[in-house]
Amino acid sequence: MTLLRFPEGHVAAVRSLAAGRASSVSDRERVSHVVRRLSIGANALDVANSSTVDEAIATTLDLSAEPASMPEFEAPADFDAARNPRDLQIPLRHWLEQMVVSPRRIEERLVWFWHDHFATSFRKVRLPYLFWQQHATVRLHATGRFDELLRAIARDPAMLDYLDGRTNRTGAINENFAREVMELHTMGVGGYSQDDIVAAARAFSGWITVPGGSDRRRVADAKPWSAVFVPTRHDDGVKTLLGVTGNHDMDDALDIILEQPATATTVAAKLYQEIVGLRPDAATTERLGTIFRAGWRVMTLIEEIVADPVFVSDEAIRARVRNPLERLVGVVQGIETIAEAGRMAGAILNRVGFVPFNPPNPAGFSGGPRLLGPYQLAHSLDVVGIIARPAPDYAVDELFARLGLFDISDTTRQVVAAARDPLSRIALAASSPEYALT
C-alpha cells in the first residue's frame, strides 16, 4: 500500500495545509479543532454533539466525571522481579485506554503534556513499577497546581533514577537534574549560570530511591520503591542560588526557581503552543505568565488560553503536526472494529520511536516538521494493524467524520474514494495530508 500521491508530493501537501493555503474553514472543522486540541484523538461523538465552538469547549474542559480507578499493579518482590520489561504493558495499556475513552478529555491532554514535559525514559530506568508510580503522580496533579506537580516530580523515584538524583550527595554532587529542572522544566534556556546549577544540585542532594524486597540498602522503615531523604547525604552548607543565599534544601531551591518570572512565562508559553499550535506573542506570554504565577493553577491557565481568540482562528487550525500517538488514538476512537489494540499499539508506536514512558531524551518526544519524514509517513499506515478484518465499509464522508475531519480537498477525497477495499480506504484516510495535521 502506498501513500497518497499528490502532484507536489505528500509532504508539500501537508505543508501547504499547515501554511493556511487550504479552503476556508467550516463550522464543523472548527468544532473538531477544539476537540482535537483539548483531548487526545478526535472524539467524533463530542464533535457530533457540539453545535458550536463554545459547546465543544465546555464538553472538553468538563472534569465533573469521576476519574477512572487505576488497575492493580503489585509492588515487585525484589529487584530482579522489578526489571521485567513486560510489566511496562500494565501502565501503557491503561493509559492508552484512558486516552481513547475517558470523558475527562482535557485531563488526558494534560497527562500527556506533563509526561512529555517531565520526560523520563525506560531506556535508562528499566523498572516498570516506577513508571506506574510516576504516571499516577502526573495524573493526580495534571489539572491541579504546577508547583505541587514540580515538587512531586523532583522527589519521584523514576525521575531520581533518570536524572541521577539518587547519586547526588555531598562530596559527589551530580548536576543533571539541577540543569534540566531549570532548562527544561521551569525557566528555559538562560537566566541562570553554572554556579546556579551547582548550587541547585547541592540543594537537591540527599534523596535516594529505596529498592524493594530484602535488599540490604533499604533505609529503615522506608516503603520499598519510594524516595527518601537521607540527611547524611545532603550538602547542608550555605548556597547562593539565583541571587538568594541560604542553607537551601530541595523545597527552598524549588521555591526560588518558582519565584523567577521566567518559570511562569516559559511553562505558560509551552502549554499555549501545545493547545493553540502557535507561539504566543510577547504580550500574551507576559499576561499568561502573570496569571499562572499567581496561583500555579493549570486549569486557570488553560481557560485563559482557550479564551484567546487565536485558539479558534483559521491560523491555528491544522497548525500542528499530529504526532503518532494522536494518529493511533484517533483511529481507535473512529473505527468501530478494533482487534488487539492494546497488544498492537506498543509495536506500532515503537517503530516510530513514540512509545509513552520511552522518550528519546530529557527534552521529550520530537514534534513539528520532524514528524513528516519519509519513514514516519510510511509507517503512518501501520495503524491499520489494529483494525479487525473484515474492515468496516464506511462511505468517504462518514470515514473522515469518524476521524474528525470535515474540510477535505478534492484530491484527497478522490484518492480515498478510489481505494480498492474498505481497509485501504481507512489506511489512505489515516495517511492523508489532512489527517497529518491537527
Percent of the chain with pLDDT over 70: 92
pTM equals 0.94
Q: Which is more confident, 188 or 24?
A: 188
Question: How high is the pLDDT of residue 19?
Answer: 58
Question: How high is the pLDDT of residue 20?
Answer: 54
- What's the mean pLDDT in 231-247? 97
- What's the mean pLDDT in 292-308? 98
Question: How high is the pLDDT of residue 213?
Answer: 53
338 pairs with which residues across the strands? 387
Question: How high is the pLDDT of residue 330?
Answer: 94
Query: Maximum Cα–Cα distance for the chain, whole Å?
Result: 72
The Cα 178–Cα 160 span in angstroms is 11
Q: What are phi and psi of 397, to 5 degrees?
A: -65, -40
Question: How high is the pLDDT of residue 373?
Answer: 80
Where residue 283 falls among pLDDT bands split at 50, 70, 90? very high
Residues 6+ apart with CB under 8 A from 203: 178, 235, 239, 241, 248, 249, 250, 252, 253
Tens-place pLDDT, residues 55-97: 999 999 999 999 988 888 999 988 889 999 999 999 998 999 9
Query: Which grid cell is 365?
Result: 518526544
The Cα 245–Cα 247 span in angstroms is 7
The Cα 434–Cα 409 span in angstroms is 8
Question: How high is the pLDDT of residue 417?
Answer: 96
- What's the mean pLDDT in 414-426? 94
Residue 343 has pLDDT above 60, yes or no: yes
- What's the mean pLDDT in 26-37? 97
The string of DSSP letters for 327-338 reads HHHHHHHH-S-B
Torsion sign (Cα): 242, 243, 249, 255: negative
Q: Which is more confident, 297 or 219?
A: 297
Helix (H) or strand (E) holding 245: strand 244-246
Rounded to 5, what percent of the chain is helix, strand, coil? Answer: 55, 5, 40
Q: Average the pLDDT over each of 52-61, 244-253, 318-327, 342-351 and give the range with the smallest value.
A: 342-351
Helix axes 250-259, 261-276, angle to 10 degrees: 70
Tell me if 329 sits within 8 A of 41, measured CB to CB: yes
Where residue 21 falls among pLDDT bands split at 50, 70, 90? very low
Question: How high is the pLDDT of residue 275?
Answer: 98
Question: How high is the pLDDT of residue 348?
Answer: 87
209 pairs with which residues across the strands? 227
Residue 368 region by backbone torsions, left for phi larger than 0, else alpha for psi between -120 and 50, else beta = left
- What's the mean pLDDT in 139-161? 98
Query: Which grid cell is 24?
Result: 476556508
End-to-end C-alpha distance for the chain, whole angstroms: 24
Residue 170 has pLDDT above 80, yes or no: yes
Q: Which is more confident, 401 or 372?
A: 401
Tell me if 128 sits within 8 A of 135, measured CB to CB: no
- What's the mean pLDDT in 88-108? 94
Tell me if 333 sits within 8 A of 100, measured CB to CB: yes
> Coil, helix or strand for 224?
coil
What are the structural domain ranges in the chain?
10-60+318-436, 79-259, 261-312
Q: Which is more confident, 96 or 9?
A: 96
User: Grid coordinates 513528516 are at which residue?
Assistant: 372
User: Grid coordinates 555531598 are at which residue?
Assistant: 170
Q: Average the pLDDT over each of 211-225, 329-343, 387-401 and give the range with the smallest value.
A: 211-225
Query: Which grid cell is 423?
Result: 481497509
Tens-place pLDDT, residues 304-324: 999 999 999 999 999 999 999
Question: How high is the pLDDT of residue 107?
Answer: 98
